[in-house]
Amino acid sequence: MLPLGVPVHPGLDVAASAVVQEDAAAGGDWFDTLPVDDGALALVAGDVVGNGASALAAAGQLRSAVLLAVSEDADPGRVLTRVARYAEVVPECAGASICLAVVRPASGAFRYAVAGYPPPFVVDRTGATTPQAPTGDGRLGCTTTYVSGAGVLRDDEVLLVASDGFQLPAGRDPLPPPAGDLDAWCAQLLHRVATAPGLVDDAVLLGVRRRPPLEPLELRYPALPDTVGVVRHEVAAWLRRAGVEPIDSSAVVQAVSELASNSVEHAYPAGTDHRRTEITVTAGLTTACVVELDLRDNGRWRPPEPVAGRGRGLPMSREFVDDLRIDTGASGTRCRLRHRPFGSTSVLSERRSGRAAAAGPPFALDVSDGHVGVRGAVGPSAADELRLVLGRVSAAGTRAATVDLAAVTSLCSAAVEAISSARTGARGEAPLQIVAGAGTTADRVLTWAGIPHQVHESGREGDH
């Protein structure tokens, strides 16, 4: 479930990319970004259990609940605690996973909380990655209280929030240095995921990087015909510096051009000494990610006259932007324009049956008395089979059983929920033992999801 786009922030570069499996039922992965109090920006990504129309509906409900909560309280731990209560009364949201991070651009400080989701990680200017400490909280429904972790984002570093489809194996080589365009860099990372062996689930990636504060625009010119072109050029250049994309930039520039033309043509009577006329333009990008622009003249407002082929400028200006207000008085006319621009998201579409999936080891189950060995990539359809097999081997939770995930290369959210349900449904005298190799995909995903399990490493055993 994709938003309209990402906000254009005055102190942060923001990027979002997603990989969508085009030949599978719609999944429950979703993400969004939202400006919150004091110039901070919230980044949130989540995944609900299942796929198809029911998963989309649950993702929409959960996304709305999170955005409402974070707009009222910017502490991630308290937000997820509140959302967990929501999931108690909306069963479709139970078992969902979420990562929420709130970044303050001035200081670089950020706070985050996770519910069964990978914690965010920081990428420095060389491409080296530093995962943030897990907050230790399970999926919605596994716990009722969530806590926040904290970190600091330095200049030229990128904070990434990524779904479990985007996995960083322990000890891997550094990522490409995050220099230049952040959108292109994030899209490059997701392209790696889309073409990696064993991709079976959707993947999302949100990135944010601090940038120098955007300086406001201030223009002051006489009301001459040539002034309209100059204003148009200066506003367009400022919007490019702000990072506004062409579709929104052209709308704002067109509206401003019409307003400036109106002042030049109609604010001053014929014979006026233009040395005494003035058009001023000021523009800024607010911490609410809204372009606010004022255009003023020191002439007199005259209602538009019904002239054939003319008089469309002001109505057109209102259509181009979100809000336009015009105040008139003896000292001149003031036009106040507001428009919220959005940056685009990169969406890569991959066929589950194509080269990427075929290159990885296939899903397989090795079933013996009381033991289920799982191999390969466990996608949504495989998760349904795993759920049935676990129920059969454990006799619906009445017989002790072991599920071994050491050979798993990818574990989708539906598979995690199947394992979690089998574990919580097991009776005390007949527990389900979950085993994973230390540092493997399954170990990391189970740890993120807050599911207790045993790990094996070089003949040693331990508990997570």
Q: Please tell me the predicted confidence (pLDDT) of residue 354.
A: 41
Q: Is the pLDDT of residue 357 over 50?
A: no
Cβ-contact 294, 282 below 8 angstroms: yes
Q: In whole angstroms, what is the distance from residue 172 CA to residue 170 CA?
A: 6
Q: Please tell me the predicted confidence (pLDDT) of residue 463.
A: 60
How many Cβ atoms sit within 10 Å of the Cβ of residue 59? 24
What is the rounded average pLDDT of the residues 277-283?
A: 93
Predicted confidence (pLDDT) per residue in 376-407, tens digit: 878 767 888 898 888 888 887 788 899 999 98
Q: Is the pLDDT of residue 451 over 80?
A: yes
Instruction: Return the amino acid letter for 96.
Output: A
What is the rounded average pLDDT of the residues 177-193?
A: 84
Name the more confident of 17 and 280: 280
Q: Please tell me the predicted confidence (pLDDT) of residue 165.
A: 64
Q: How buried is 386 (Cβ within 10 angstroms: 0-12 exposed, 13-18 middle, 19+ buried)?
A: buried
Q: Please tell me the predicted confidence (pLDDT) of residue 298.
A: 86
How many Cβ atoms sit within 10 Å of the Cβ of residue 334? 16
Instruction: For the chain, give the mean pLDDT.
Output: 83
Domain boundaries, the chain: 6-213, 217-342, 361-463
Cβ-contact 112, 76 below 8 angstroms: yes
Q: In whole angstroms, what is the distance from residue 346 CA to residue 321 CA?
A: 24
Instruction: Return the amino acid letter for 461.
Output: E
Cβ-contact 163, 206 below 8 angstroms: no
Of 95-99, 202-206, 295-299, 404-408, where does mean pLDDT reach its minimum? 202-206
Predicted confidence (pLDDT) per residue in 243-257, tens digit: 999 889 989 999 999
Q: Is the pLDDT of residue 459 over 50?
A: no
DSSP for residue 223: S
Q: In whole angstroms, what is the distance from residue 269 CA to residue 84 CA?
A: 65
Assigned CATH for 6-213: 3.60.40.10
Residue with tokens 């999170």: 66
Q: Is the pLDDT of residue 176 over 90?
A: no
Of 71-80, 107-116, 155-164, 192-201, where does mean pLDDT reach its minimum? 192-201
Q: At what angle do helices 225-242 and 246-266 cross, to 10 degrees?
A: 160
Cβ-contact 227, 281 below 8 angstroms: no
Name the more confident of 111 and 393: 111
Q: Is the pLDDT of residue 34 over 90?
A: yes
Bridge partners, residue 3, by sequence: none
Q: Please tell me the predicted confidence (pLDDT) of residue 285.
A: 96
Determine the topology of domain 217-342 in CATH.
Answer: Heat Shock Protein 90 (3.30.565)
Helices (H), 51-169: 53-72, 76-89
Q: In whole angstroms, what is the distance from residue 261 CA to residue 258 CA?
A: 5
Provide the pLDDT confidence category of residue 303 given band limits of 50, 70 and 90.
low
Residue with tokens 């507001």: 338
Q: Please tell me the predicted confidence (pLDDT) of residue 262.
A: 84
Q: Please tell me the predicted confidence (pLDDT) of residue 396.
A: 77
Instruction: Return the amino acid letter for 248.
Output: D
Q: Is the pLDDT of residue 1 over 70?
A: no
Predicted confidence (pLDDT) per residue in 39-52, tens digit: 999 999 988 877 77
Provide the pLDDT confidence category of residue 373 given band limits of 50, 70 and 90.
very high
Architecture of domain 361-463: 2-Layer Sandwich (3.30)
Provide the pLDDT confidence category of residue 217 given band limits of 50, 70 and 90.
very high
Of 95-99, 387-391, 433-437, 439-443, where does mean pLDDT reach its minimum? 439-443
Q: Please tell me the predicted confidence (pLDDT) of residue 351.
A: 47
Provide the pLDDT confidence category of residue 464 given band limits of 50, 70 and 90.
low
Q: Please tell me the predicted confidence (pLDDT) of residue 307.
A: 52
Q: How buried is 422 (Cβ within 10 angstroms: 0-12 exposed, 13-18 middle, 19+ buried)?
A: buried
Q: In whole angstroms, what is the distance from residue 438 CA to residue 456 CA?
A: 6
